[in-house]
Amino acid sequence: MIDKTLNWFDDRLGTAKGGRSFLDKIFPDHWSFMLGEIALYSFIILLGTGVFLTLYYVPSAHEIVYHGSYVPLRGQNVSEAYGSTVGLSFDVRSGLLMRQAHHWAADIFLGAIAVHMARVFFTGAFRKPREFNWIVGVIMLILGILNGFLGYSLPDDLVSGTGIRIAFSIVESIPVVGSYLAFFLFGGNFPGSGVIIPRFYVIHVLIIPAILVGLLAAHLGLLIKQKHTQFPGKGRTEKNVVGSPMFPNFIAKTTGFLFMSFAVIFLLGGFAQINAIWQFGQYQPFQISYAVQPDWYMGWLDGAARIMPAWEWVGWGHTIPLEIFLPAVIFPGLIFNILIVWPFIESIWTKDHEYHNLLDRPRDRPKRTAAGAAMLTLLFGVFFASSTDVMANFFQLPLMDVLWFFRFFVPLAPIVAYFLTFKICNEMRVAEGIGKRKRALIVERSTEGEYTTTEAPVRPGDGHEEIDAIPVPTFIDTTDPSLATAAGVRRVIR
Amino acid sequence: MARISRRSIAARMAAPTALVGAVAIFGLVAFSSGPAQADTTTTTTASTATTPAPVAVDPTTVATPPGDVTATTDTTSTTGPTPTPYGVGATAGSPGAQPGSVQAEPSAVTALPSAEATAKAAAPSNQGGIYYPALPAAYIAPGQALFAANCSSCHGAEANGKDGVAPNLQRLGAGTVDFWVSTGRMPLANTSAQAIRKPPRFNRTQTLQIAAWVQSLTPGEGTQIPLVKTSGADLEQGNTLFTLNCAACHTISGAGDALMEGAYAPSLHLATTTQIVEAIRSGPGNMPHFGVGNIPNSEARDITAYVTEVLQHPNNSGGVGLGGIGPVGEGFVGLLIGVGLLMLVCFWIGDRS
């Protein structure tokens, strides 16, 4: 029966060949190669839960009177967007679980992208021929951040409304075109003419996800085409891929991982509250809550804006608000551009234009590792700077002291991190036996009282055994020798 | 391809698991108890400061003769925006706390009657759900003794303050005194920083005695001690008013936050109804004070009800509240527990050669 069905498809679509190479695809085995899959699986959850949410969410700034089951809001004028979000949280079965899982999945999606990206960076996996895939990844990161911002803005609650207000000012701060651009995006001066919510909605649920799906296909397609990178090791060369095949090994592993990701995200969605918008209330432009932060992936921009001194440039009848233009436009622009061009910078710098399928150990490229560590320190610095008020309150310190600490920490710490990492890498390269598990020492005392030390035998599991490569089955697409015109030329029978 | 035994997997997993787990647990604990810690208050405050508790009224044991202040007119029926003048005690008596005793004897006795009881007892001054019962005149003399022993070194024997040391308390009213003393902010722990909420040094009766004495210096002036009947309050109105007037500093969840110049807006999670109205009316520290023209009594009652009934018992549908501090706590959990846990899964099922 299965045979027949598969043959039916193969006869018409030729699925056997593609299926064979798919099932035989080799995945090098290392735990850090699976980080990207966290992002992939959270993205699947985002799509699924997101579709559920669109069934109940009303993308409209139109004012209604709330009559739902949350008592303190009853009788208040709220926008349909806010009212429907509170409604789907309280009055739709499993609505709150879906909303929270969606939100947690977004946080984890971007976190996984960041971790995956760090892995790719520190192991040099972005080098030729994979620069293009690195760029695709960076663009997905940017789009993911943007879509996260749009997504948490959709409920139209007090906290996210404050974020939209800041976004308006950021766009406005761009010289020359800023105010035109802001008016164009928001349909007039803030808070716009009620077009923000529907516009954000279309971009959030349609445009960016569509681009993301396309880029994801490109990302994975390139990965299959270019094959995986692998760590250097016995039997691993630039010309081969050593690992377990898709079927039956990897598929079991990755399916398990898929369900693990689902489990973690839905457990968080069920047991950890996120974005309790009913506690925040409807956004009103004249209201504000203190202690407002963006979601974590926007935090580094918020932090940069917080620690920036209040500078502005005034001339020829115009003002350029540097205090917001530099940290919120120039700074992220620089960061993302550095990320995109990094593979090319590095290949020019190192004059290395070779193909690389074997990965670097981070310690063997001390300058790159140090640069990455410096970048991460910078980003973590501004990220933590976005919670200056929470820290000041939590540790009972004066707010300005915390702020001034970050004003020095953010520019100085990356420099320290660079040299520290560089030094550590160099030390690790010359240290004996680093990265290997220490073997036990057996100390014995002889009858004369003399002590001798001998190394214990290798522990089971610490040693590496090579297994013979399993030959890939060749019964598909065998070439008929009689049809071969010349050696090496293969003619496929249609 | 490496083959790794289960034992070595467990060995290698142990360290990172323990680390991430410890950090994650620390994070959860720290953030979920954040607001309470920020105010350095223990649960004793909450239990001792719960004002409108049922009362044991004992008008017989008057420790001290009333004195000349009792001559003040009994204007308990005053309504409208003017503050109730300090009147002769009609509803409550003194349980006879030891004058001058600074050791806070945890006493279950609350000298003021509950709001409900007062409402039944001919409502001395019902102003939009807020009552201002008069303090018994018998409180004045022990109050003076307590004040002399505990407060006068800074505020002066006549409570008129000292330049550069402590403010003049005359004309501030019993409510102001009650707020500062009942929240434990006075006596001050540290003169160089904003007063922090801490377990109060005086029990309820002693606090009211001090307040009664300060009030007796300027009868009828300043903030009175309110009792709030929140049962009929309009929570929707309270929500709106809180967002408009309070959230800008105390945050929308009432968790409080750091402000400029070393000041901070304290958490409201331990405030009692009486303390909230006292704070609204007297504007302690950096807080602006709101008069009845700004926030009428009925609105103050709505805000109070919103704080004590909604913010102090938030609807945490959807799981652990994560401290009510928004995306900071959420990012912490999302990255450390969410991504961290999944990375451990990677580490578990992936190869580690």
Cβ-defined contact of A33 to B350 (cutoff 8 Å): yes
Mean pLDDT, rounded, for B294-298:
89
**pLDDT given for residue A66 in this prediction:** 92
Tell me, yes or no, if A232 comes closer than 8 A to chain B by beta carbon. no
- Listing DSSP states for B136-186 in one string gives PGGGHHHHHHHHHHHTHHHH-TTS--BTTTB---TTTHHHHHHHHHHTT--
- Which residue shows structure tokens 């598929």? A251
Please count the residues of chain B: 353
Cβ-defined contact of A399 to B341 (cutoff 8 Å): no
Mean pLDDT, rounded, for A81-85:
94
Domain that holds residue B27: 6-32+320-349
Higher-scoring residue by pLDDT: B152, B63: B152
What is the Cα–Cα distance from A407 to B184, expressed in whole angstroms? 36
**pLDDT given for residue A461 in this prediction:** 60
Tell me, yes or no, if B261 comes closer than 8 A to chain A by beta carbon. yes
The tens digit of pLDDT for each residue in B12-23 reads: 444 445 555 555
Whether residue B203 lies inside any domain: the answer is: yes
Distance from the B25 Cα atom to the nearest Cα atom in chain A, whole angstroms: 13
* Chain A residues lying within 8 Å of B8, measured CB to CB: 437, 459-462
pLDDT band at A459 (very low <50, low <70, confident <90, very high): low
* Chain A residues lying within 8 Å of B330, measured CB to CB: 103, 107, 272, 274-275, 295-296
For residues B279 and B246, the answer to whether their CB atoms sit within 8 Å is no
pLDDT above 60: residue A483: no
Mean pLDDT, rounded, for B318-326:
72
Tell me, yes or no, if A30 comes closer than 8 A to chain B by beta carbon. yes
Residue (of B309, B307, B304) closest to B128 by Cα position: B304
Helix (H, G, I), strand (E, B) or coil at B114: coil
Distance from the B71 Cα atom to the nearest Cα atom in chain A, whole angstroms: 46
pLDDT band at A473 (very low <50, low <70, confident <90, very high): low
Mean pLDDT, rounded, for A254-261:
94
Mean pLDDT, rounded, for A264-276:
92
Residues B210 and B293 in one domain: yes
Domains contained in chain B, number: 2
Higher-scoring residue by pLDDT: A252, A488: A252
Higher-scoring residue by pLDDT: B160, B64: B160
pLDDT band at A456 (very low <50, low <70, confident <90, very high): confident
User: Which residues make beta-bridge pairs with A26?
Assistant: A245
**pLDDT given for residue B25 in this prediction:** 52
User: Which residues make beta-bridge pairs with A65?
Assistant: A77
Residues B92 and B213 in one domain: yes
Distance from the B117 Cα atom to the nearest Cα atom in chain A, whole angstroms: 27
Q: What is the mean pLDDT of chain A?
A: 88
Angle at A390 between CA A389 and CA A394, to 5 degrees: 120
**pLDDT given for residue B103 in this prediction:** 38
Whether residue B38 lies inside any domain: the answer is: no
Higher-scoring residue by pLDDT: B57, B220: B220
pLDDT band at B88 (very low <50, low <70, confident <90, very high): very low
Whether residue B37 lies inside any domain: the answer is: no
Whether residue B216 lies inside any domain: the answer is: yes
**pLDDT given for residue A400 in this prediction:** 87
Residue to mutate among A86, A115, A274, with most B CBs inside 10 A, is A274
ipTM over the 0.95 cut-off: no
pLDDT above 70: residue B37: no
Residues B71 and B88 in one domain: yes
Tell me, yes or no, if B16 comes closer than 8 A to chain A by beta carbon. no
**pLDDT given for residue B97 in this prediction:** 37
Residues B86 and B162 in one domain: yes
pLDDT above 50: residue B56: no
**pLDDT given for residue A75 in this prediction:** 86
**pLDDT given for residue A92 in this prediction:** 93
Mean pLDDT, rounded, for A14-39:
86
pLDDT band at B108 (very low <50, low <70, confident <90, very high): very low
What is the Cα–Cα distance from B302 to B295, expressed in whole angstroms? 10
Residues B331 and B216 in one domain: no
Q: Which two structure tokens, joined as six digits, stand for A19?
A: 């299926």
Residues B224 and B340 in one domain: no
Whether residue B1 lies inside any domain: the answer is: no
| Structural domains of chain A ordered from first start | 30-358 (1.20.810.10), 361-434 (no CATH)
**pLDDT given for residue A33 in this prediction:** 92
Cβ-defined contact of B330 to A32 (cutoff 8 Å): no
DSSP label of A462: T
Residues B245 and B274 in one domain: yes
Q: Please name the residues in contact with A421: beta carbons below 8 A apart, sequence gap of 6 or more.
A: A366, A369, A370, A373, A374
pLDDT band at B343 (very low <50, low <70, confident <90, very high): very high
Residues B307 and B341 in one domain: no
**pLDDT given for residue A374 in this prediction:** 97
Q: Given CA atoms A199, A205, A206, A210 in this order, what sign does their dihedral have?
A: positive
pLDDT above 60: residue A210: yes
Residue (of A315, A387, A282, A222) closest to A72 by Cα position: A282
**pLDDT given for residue B11 in this prediction:** 47
Residue to mutate among A35, A273, A288, A401, with most B CBs inside 10 A, is A273
Helix (H, G, I), strand (E, B) or coil at A79: strand
Mean pLDDT, rounded, for B170-195:
86
* Chain B residues lying within 8 Å of A291, measured CB to CB: 251, 255, 257, 325-326
**pLDDT given for residue B324 in this prediction:** 61
What is the Cα–Cα distance from B343 to B347, expressed in whole angstroms? 6
**pLDDT given for residue A27 in this prediction:** 87
Residues B121 and B212 in one domain: yes
* Chain B residues lying within 8 Å of A33, measured CB to CB: 350
Cβ-defined contact of B5 to A261 (cutoff 8 Å): no
Q: Which of A208-217, A317-326, B148-157 has the highest mean pLDDT?
A: A208-217
Residues B284 and B183 in one domain: yes
Percent of chain B scoring above 70 in pLDDT: 63
Distance from the B64 Cα atom to the nearest Cα atom in chain A, whole angstroms: 44
Residues B20 and B63 in one domain: no
Of A270, A275, A290, the CB nearest to B251: A290
**pLDDT given for residue B122 in this prediction:** 40
**pLDDT given for residue A468 in this prediction:** 63
Cβ-defined contact of A291 to B319 (cutoff 8 Å): no
Tell me, yes or no, if A400 comes closer than 8 A to chain B by beta carbon. yes
* Chain B residues lying within 8 Å of A458, measured CB to CB: none
Residues B338 and B203 in one domain: no
Distance from the A2 Cα atom to the nearest Cα atom in chain B, whole angstroms: 31
For residues A398 and B261, the answer to whether their CB atoms sit within 8 Å is yes
Q: Among A128-132, A327-331, B103-107, name the one with the lowest average pLDDT.
A: B103-107
**Residue A314 identity (one-letter amino acid):** V
Cβ-defined contact of B1 to A292 (cutoff 8 Å): no
Q: Please name the residues in contact with B28: beta carbons below 8 A apart, sequence gap of 6 or more.
A: B320, B322, B333, B337
Mean pLDDT, rounded, for A326-338:
95
